[in-house]
Structure 1
Amino acid sequence: MHVSLNEFTSTCRRALDSLGFPPGEYEDAADMVVWLEQHGLGGARLLGEILPRLAENRWPALTVTHDDGGCVMMQMDHGSILHGGSLAADLACTRALASGLGLVRLHGCSDRSFILGYLARCARRGHHIAAFWCTGEPRRAVQNVAVALADARLPVFRRFRADGGGEQEADTDTLTLMATRDFAMLPAASDEHTDMELLEMVTAEEFEARSRRAWDQGVEIDASLWRDLSAIRDRRLVAASEESRQRGAGETNPAD
């Protein structure tokens, strides 16, 4: 079914709120989902795939396992990047402001492509930031690289197969974030690497064109996903209404 971006954003926010995402977190998570959909990377489809997991699992623990002042290592208890990606990115940016460079590695997380939307937000706040993660099988993984420069509205996204497709071990449940005050400190993300097979590249200009189409034409959402999101959203609204009625029925006028 066809919906506007505003409709999709509102429904995602209310659904994630109903699933137990805290205030502030559910807005960030919903915005990351919508960003992927708005920019042609299938955010709605990915949300549909993980929605049962988000609905059934408790909020995952997120702990710092190492911090040497330069690199922060964090462990997530097998949660989605929607649960802690914004926190990790904000930490990288905070460290970059303090020392010039912030490096955060988040282990044990899934659905890492959602971080793209938050990179764009960090860049609009004046941070240079890059994200790296591998997808696929550990010995046949694809390297994903996204770079957003300060004050740029949109990142550049590339997918590589290392060593021309040769088999190598890769960590497929880790997200690495690097933020810096000096863009020259970011690793080069050129598509001219001779030892890397470029599988896909999406420029900021292409992202901008996709975004304009989504705003003008809306987005296509699977009808079953829309029903699921609406049902989850409505659970929260019904619960809030019932709580309000009970509170109102029990309240008395102080003057009585």
Structure 2
Amino acid sequence: MVLPGETAVRLMPEADVSRGPALSRNELLAFLRRVFEALLGKRCDYEAVAEQIVWLECHGLGGLDMLRACLTRLDLEEQNVESHLPGAFSVGGGAIDLDAGGGSLLCFGDLLTDMLIVQSAEQGSCRIEIADLREGQAVLPQLHRMALAGCFAAARVRNPQDGTSWSAHITAASRLPALSGCSGSSGCADAVSMSLICASSEPALRSAMHAFDPHWPEPTIASDQLAANYKRSLDSGIPVGDLSALAAIADRVLVEATEESRRGAGE
């Protein structure tokens, strides 16, 4: 059941041969590291960005579709350092407000996650409100990071253009989020707003979620479904479709930046 005002659930199908050859998780990750090294260089942690796309793709959440949809914008913005950094912070009313300035969560999600983990440990729970954000789907691997750190977290993403929304929450025990209304990469060209809550315990998370919205929607995609998608990606590989546009960007990097290549370059 999809609640009014929510987007329809859309996971990747179990098998889709039309998406072309299959790569292993490690092969796809190595390829995307080169893509993002070329796109982002040292402006942000390009390896972490690649890992987010692979996480989404392996769990059936359309990571490559999202990347293809935002690729031209990221490529045009590559010289704009501010596009890869969070905008202005302000604190008030029990929440941190952040203007992302149209930036992509792919590029600074790790920074936000680290801050929320620290804040929740100190305060019990912490909420951040983010406006004018791109690629809100990238919050899902960040929820996974929070759970690995022993935290409990929830996110609500809203599209002001069409009034739709989707949400997710995660526990330290599950390690994978449960979703409601998540629509893959649909609409990722639009800027969205996001409410993100991180807590040190499940009761603290439930209390913060209820205080924010007493009618937080029930999940329509269980974490078990994401786990099954991940297992299938390991067993059968990841159908990747046409990678030519991404390969053209990756080819800008002659040699992938590794410890060995850095030593060879005299760094």
The alpha carbon displacement at 1:144 in A equals: 1.1
- Code of the residue aligned with 2:236 in structure 1: it is Q
The alpha carbon displacement at 1:77 in A equals: 2.1
Match of 2:73 among 25, 31, 53: 53
The alpha carbon displacement at 1:157 in A equals: 0.9
Matches within 5 A, 1:15-94: 15-22=35-42, 25-57=45-77, 58-59=80-81, 60=83, 61-68=85-92, 70-94=94-118
SS in 2 for 1:133: strand
- Code of the residue aligned with 2:150 in structure 1: it is G
The alpha carbon displacement at 1:24 in A equals: 6.4
Unaligned 5+ runs, structure 2: 1-20, 183-189
- Normalising by the residue count of structure 2, what TM-score does the alignment of the two structures yield? 0.75
The alpha carbon displacement at 1:100 in A equals: 0.8
Say if 2:124 and 2:204, in contact at 8 Å, map to a contact too. Answer: no
CA deviations 1:122-144 (Å, max 9, x no partner) are 10111111111013x53x42221
Unaligned 5+ runs, structure 1: 161-170, 249-256
- Normalising by the residue count of structure 1, what TM-score does the alignment of the two structures yield? 0.78
The alpha carbon displacement at 1:19 in A equals: 0.9
Cα distance, 1:106–1:194 mapped onto 2, change above 3 Å: closer
Max Rg structure: 1
Cα distance, 1:172–1:127 mapped onto 2, change above 3 Å: same
Say if 2:167 and 2:217, in contact at 8 Å, map to a contact too. Answer: no
Separation (CA, whole Å) in 2 of partners of 1:16 and 1:70: 36
CA deviations 1:115-164 (Å, max 9, x no partner) are 101211210111111111013x53x422211111114221111118xxxx
Task: Work out the percentage of aligned pairs sharing the same amino acid.
Answer: 26
Separation (CA, whole Å) in 2 of partners of 1:196 and 1:104: 17
SS in 2 for 1:141: coil
Separation (CA, whole Å) in 2 of partners of 1:233 and 1:157: 33
- Code of the residue aligned with 2:249 in structure 1: it is I
Separation (CA, whole Å) in 2 of partners of 1:21 and 1:92: 26
SS in 1 for 2:100: strand
The alpha carbon displacement at 1:2 in A equals: 1.8
Match of 1:156 in 2: 178
- Greater fraction of residues in strand: 1
Matches within 5 A, 1:157-176: 157-159=179-181, 173-176=192-195
The alpha carbon displacement at 1:74 in A equals: 1.4
- Code of the residue aligned with 2:57 in structure 1: it is E
Matches within 5 A, 1:106-255: 106-135=130-159, 138=161, 140-159=162-181, 173-187=192-206, 201-223=220-242, 226-237=243-254
SS in 2 for 1:22: coil
The alpha carbon displacement at 1:230 in A equals: 2.2
Match of 1:164 in 2: none
- Code of the residue aligned with 1:186 in structure 2: it is L
SS in 1 for 2:61: coil
Say if 1:32 and 1:115, in contact at 8 Å, map to a contact too. Answer: no
Say if 2:125 and 2:205, in contact at 8 Å, map to a contact too. Answer: no
Over the residues paired in the alignment, what is the CA RMSD in angstroms?
Answer: 3.2
Say if 2:88 and 2:100, in contact at 8 Å, map to a contact too. Answer: no
Cα distance, 1:21–1:99 mapped onto 2, change above 3 Å: farther
The alpha carbon displacement at 1:217 in A equals: 0.6
Match of 1:167 in 2: none
The alpha carbon displacement at 1:172 in A equals: 5.7
Match of 1:168 in 2: none
SS in 1 for 2:126: strand
The answer to which structure, 1 or 2, has the higher relative contact order (CA under 8 A, 6+ apart) is 2
Cα distance, 1:172–1:45 mapped onto 2, change above 3 Å: closer
Cα distance, 1:213–1:239 mapped onto 2, change above 3 Å: closer
Q: How many residues align?
A: 228
SS in 2 for 1:62: coil
